[in-house]
Structure 1
Amino acid sequence: MTWFILISLLSIGLILVVAEVLFVPGTTLVGILGALVTIAGVYYAFISLEKNIAYAVTAGALTVNLAALVYGLRSGVWNKFALKNSMQSRAFDNRLDGLYVQMEGVATSDIKPIGKAEFADKIYEVKSDAGFIRVGTKVWISKLENNTITVKV
């Protein structure tokens, strides 16, 4: 019965450590629980078996748990959770298509210094290089750069 309890504790501890490394890495709760169960198994070996056998059980448990940890780290399981690509797109990349410098439009809101203007039946957010421009005023595009439309009166 002593060996059954000892093997059960050590096996459960090993299973929890392997589960931490392979299936739920980073949570540490499962790994800590596995380490505690393994320590309980080693403690049980020392209180119920001879010291030489208990030391052998301790060495075996440490070797098997360390081997499981090394295997888990070398198996590439962390690559499943690592970010490998990044977003290459940007917002409003084609926002300025169809617009050109000196294109005429109408301010659809007060531009002070940022507001809205209509060019070719589309409304755009614009920036004034001359300060305040009233709604309904004719404006011309003076600069197009970095997705910014700069207008003048």
Structure 2
Amino acid sequence: MFAEHLSAFLTHPVTATVLLVIGIVGITLELLFFSSGLLAAAGVVGFALYFLGFYLAGFVGFGDLAVFGIGIVLLILELVVPSFGILSVLGAICLFGGVLMAAADPKQAGIMLGIALLVAIIAVAVAVKYFRHRGVWNRFILKEQLTTDKGFTASPDRAFLVGMQGTSITPLRPAGTAEIQGERVDVVTDGGFIPAGRTIVVVMVEGTRVVVREIFEQNS
């Protein structure tokens, strides 16, 4: 019968190992590169054919499929809600657990899984080497150069204000606004309170922080 021949082909150690490699590599690369689900689909097909072979042979039960299904759900959740790898690890444990539970001989399945993992690690390492620029880690790296020709503007250098005088427009408690050289500038005092309308002088500039001090007029 066709089902028997298909089962014998899919459960053959070489075929089963290849299917495991496809499953592991496909899902792992999907998690690393986010290929719009294409690699994940290939991985799921690989695992599905693996389970189909043992199902046709009468070894796969509902519990085996449930454990495997939970693993798939956890991996999908990792794609939607990143958990810093926690869901991926739990999903992988469920996947591998389902693979071992579904096999006729768990020991042989463990050997096939070990070989598949070794081959998968090599394949993933090669993929990462040649396609590292598309990896998920690039989402956490700022590559855009903050240059003016791309629309970015740096904070103005106000070091030239040191020593210039102005007038406090608002009370400085200690932060507020002052007018210096005809320009409204956000300033902060060097510790004291300065009412509005007082003459001030810029004593220090640290980045965007302009520090001022009140000038007290001397009575003649």
Gaps of 5+ in 2: 35-39, 60-103, 147-152, 215-220
The percentage of aligned residue pairs carrying the same residue is 16
3-state SS in 1 of match to 2:115: helix
CA separation of 1:62/1:14 partners in 2, compared to 1, >3 Å: closer, same or farther?
same
Q: Which of residues 179, 186, 189 is equivalent to 1:118?
A: 179
Matched, 1:21 2:28: yes
1:105 — aligned with what?
166
Retained in 2: the 8 A contact 1:21–1:69? no
1:63 — aligned with what?
115
CA separation of 1:12/1:120 partners in 2, compared to 1, >3 Å: closer, same or farther?
farther
The CA deviation at 1:61 is 6.1
Aligned residues: 145
Question: Hey, what's the Cα distance between the residues in 1 that align with 2:113 and 2:192?
Answer: 76
Q: Under a length normalisation based on structure 2, what TM-score does the superposition of the two structures give? A: 0.47
Larger Rg, first or second structure (1 or 2): 1
User: How well do the aligned residues superpose, as a CA RMSD in angstroms?
Assistant: 4.3
1:62-141 aligned at under 5 Å gives the runs 62-64=114-116, 66-76=118-128, 77=131, 79-81=133-135, 82-83=137-138, 93-96=155-158, 98-99=160-161, 101-129=162-190, 131-141=192-202
3-state SS in 2 of match to 1:75: helix
3-state SS in 1 of match to 2:120: helix
Gaps of 5+ in 1: none
Question: Hey, what's the Cα distance between the residues in 1 that align with 2:165 and 2:173?
Answer: 19
Retained in 2: the 8 A contact 1:14–1:34? no
3-state SS in 2 of match to 1:19: helix
Q: Which deviates further from its counterpart, 102-111 or 74-83? A: 74-83
Q: Under a length normalisation based on structure 1, what TM-score does the superposition of the two structures give? A: 0.63
1:7 — aligned with what?
10
Matched, 1:143 2:204: yes
Task: Give, as a single letter, the amino acid of the residue that structure 2 aligns with 1:132.
Answer: F
Larger strand share, 1 or 2: 1
Question: Hey, what's the Cα distance between the residues in 2 that align with 1:63 and 1:146?
Answer: 58
